[in-house]
């Protein structure tokens, strides 16, 4: 009978070890999952910032292109309306859509910088 008690006691001693191992593995798995979620959140935040920056540059480019097209169309109407114009009013109208260069607009293809 003594041997039976010893054999029964051995599996009972292993139970706390197995429980601790299971808790450790569960904690490790949950931690790894939380780390992956945090990295995904950081990636999405960075992507959103980049999209915002690109959208701002796109908007500024569209504005400059539209103002150039507007000026080109209005030059035709200006010349038709007053064929004997002087350079003063023409220069004033030509300078309206142009502003100093923006720092965001530098370094765009094909211009370096």
Q: Distance between CA atoms of 92 and 10, rounded to whole angstroms?
A: 98
pTM (predicted TM-score): 0.49
Mean pLDDT of the chain: 78
Could you give the percent of the chain with pLDDT greater than 70? 70
Q: Could you give the number of structural domains in the chain? A: 1
Whether the Cβ atoms of residue 94 and residue 76 lie closer than 8 Å to each other? no
| Domain assignment present for 102 | no
Question: Quick one: tokens of 13?
Answer: 């001693």
Residues 11, 9: Cα–Cα separation, whole Å? 6
In a domain, 65, yes or no: yes
Q: Is the pLDDT of residue 56 over 50?
A: yes
Q: How far apart are CA 82 and CA 94, in angstroms?
A: 15
User: Any residues with CB less than 8 A from the CB of 12 and at least 6 apart, and which?
Assistant: none
**9: containing domain:** 2-97
């Amino acid at each position: 009978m003594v041997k039976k008690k010893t054999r029964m006691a051995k599996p009972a001693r292993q139970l706390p070890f197995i429980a601790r191992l299971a808790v450790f593995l569960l904690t490790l798995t949950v931690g790894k999952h939380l780390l992956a979620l945090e990295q995904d959140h950081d990636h999405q935040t960075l992507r959103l910032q980049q999209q915002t920056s690109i959208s701002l540059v796109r908007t500024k480019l569209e504005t400059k292109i539209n103002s150039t097209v507007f000026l080109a169309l209005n030059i035709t109407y200006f010349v038709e309306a007053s064929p004997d114009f002087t350079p003063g009013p023409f220069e004033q109208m030509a300078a309206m859509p142009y502003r100093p260069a923006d720092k965001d607009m530098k370094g765009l293809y094909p211009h370096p910088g």
